[in-house]
Structure 1
Amino acid sequence: MITIRQAGRSALPDVLALLDGATEWLVAQGRTDQWGTEPHSTNPQRIAQVTGFADDDGLWLAEEADGRVVGALAVGAALPYVPPAGEPELYVRMLVTDRASAGQGIGAALLDHARDLARAAGVGLLRVDCFAGGDGALVRYYEKQGFTRDVEFAVPVKGSEWPGQVLSQRL
């Protein structure tokens, strides 16, 4: 059983370790087009982004009974590269789980927590974006979690474009 708790800056090493682990897994799968090959923990931009999530009080951790961090969720306002919703929303800014705990429903539990936070804030729209390239597995994951495809977008990255998909869910 996991516990979900709000986290601050002290959680940054745990969150960055989760992101690094996810990147290692993606690289091992030959999926370098999603996050590249470099660790998040050495990327000043990514460190600043995760620090901002903590500073905005939108960072949450999923922990095992022994205190081991197995997932992280960041919620708040939509990120700047995402087309605006046009109505009040809660935005899933980051969702990552420990690859060693895959298949245990940690991501689903964190998304349930995001839904609870949105409802508590009186917001009827939850949105998320994800990598839309490769085989589309990540988009399908969010669809299995009850989200529907909304709008596609692209972010310029080092002379190419990173394909993204916004998904939404009415609460």
Structure 2
Amino acid sequence: MNTDQYQVRRATPDDVPTLMEMRAEAEQWLAEMGVDQWSDPDLGERAVQGWLEKINRGRTWVVTRSGRIAATISRDRADTDFWREEDVLHDAFYVYKLIVARSEAGTHLGARLLDWASVIAAAEGKSWVRLDVWRNNKGLQKYYEKQGFSHVRTEAPSHRLSGWLGQRPAGTVLHPDLLLPTIHVPLPSNLGTELAAIRAETTALASRVAQLRTALDATSTPETGTARWTYDQTQEHLFALDCSVQSAIRAITDVETEAQKLPEPTDLAWASAPRQ
């Protein structure tokens, strides 16, 4: 199979009707297997809003082939109905709304999306890829176990139908020859040069402001009257400007120091789409 036929991009609100069609298709397929997952109409309406919310925060992606959406995956924070503080919540990539079009059956696209998430999780320095599955969907639970997920535990809050919790180590890749393309938005290669130039320009500005203050201090001025008041106001504003410029220089220096710690533009840490 030519893996270049698949592309990954961030989802847009215009994609939601297609995503809901895929969801309905998945509902029918699950129903044929005796699983009622996602069959609640009210849950469907919430799904639309959930997708829109994640899309607006840059947390949903679609896989396309020949311009058509073939699959979707979302990420979000840990669902605290299931995951606990002792699970170290920040240390995982949490998978949500992983759906593959039935037309893609046999392509391992779902498994490849899990590899995609796993690569990004590792690049971000996380330890796990995690997900939750409906408690009555035994088939899907077995599927994820075949994809390297270990059953952590099953939670059963009365207001939720999901709760089978699984995780696998970040960086686990089961299909290395079929990796999906990552969205690579690297750091600008000239960031350091630009910051140094800004610092030099700001330092030069500080020097000019200091020279103006010195010149103004040497000016003979009336002791009273409008001219004196205007002179004092000018001095006051120049002092404030001097303080602001000096503060800007310190801020730019801090930015340069932190920027030096960032990964190289070629580092895989920039592989995931921008996270707002």
Instruction: Identify the TM-score tier after normalising by the shorter chain.
Output: 0.7 to 0.9
| Greater than 3 Å deviation, 4+ residue runs | 37-40
TM-aligned CA distance change 1:81 to 1:8, over 3 Å: farther
Distance 2:80 2:147 in 1: 24
Write the letter of the residue equivalent to 2:135.
A
Q: Secondary structure at the match of 2:67?
A: coil
TM-fit CA distance, 1:51: 1.2
Deviates further, 82-91 or 16-25: 82-91
Equivalence for 1:53: 54
TM-fit CA distance, 1:39: 8.7
Equivalence for 1:68: 68
Q: Secondary structure at the match of 1:35?
A: coil
Equivalence for 2:161: 162
TM-score where L is the length of structure 2: 0.54
Q: Which has the higher strand share?
A: 1
TM-aligned CA distance change 1:6 to 1:163, over 3 Å: closer
Q: Is the 8 A contact 1:23 1:39 kept in 2?
A: no
For residues 45-84 of structure 1, the C-alpha deviation after alignment (integer angstroms, 9 at most, x for no partner) is 11111112212211111111x1111110001212242223
Q: Which structure 2 residue ranges, 5 or more long, are not aligned? A: 171-276
Count residues with an aligned counterpart: 163
Percent identity of the aligned residues?
25
TM-fit CA distance, 1:35: 2.1
Write the letter of the residue equivalent to 1:151.
R
Q: How does 1:4-153 map to 2 (within 5 A)?
A: 4-32=8-36, 34-36=37-39, 38=41, 43-64=44-65, 66-84=66-84, 85-87=87-89, 88-134=91-137, 136-153=138-155
Q: Is the 8 A contact 1:59 1:74 kept in 2?
A: yes
Distance 1:164 1:111 in 2: 19
TM-aligned CA distance change 1:155 to 1:13, over 3 Å: farther
TM-fit CA distance, 1:16: 1.3
Q: Which structure 1 residue ranges, 5 or more long, are not aligned? A: none
TM-score where L is the length of structure 1: 0.85
- Give the root-mean-square deviation of aligned CA atoms: 2.0
Q: Is the 8 A contact 1:129 1:166 kept in 2?
A: yes
Q: Is the 8 A contact 1:78 1:93 kept in 2?
A: no
Q: Is the 8 A contact 1:71 1:96 kept in 2?
A: yes
Q: Is the 8 A contact 1:24 1:37 kept in 2?
A: no
Distance 2:68 2:148 in 1: 28
Q: Is the 8 A contact 1:153 1:165 kept in 2?
A: yes
Q: Which has the higher helix share?
A: 2
Q: Secondary structure at the match of 1:156?
A: coil
Larger radius of gyration: 2
Q: Is the 8 A contact 2:76 2:94 kept in 1?
A: yes
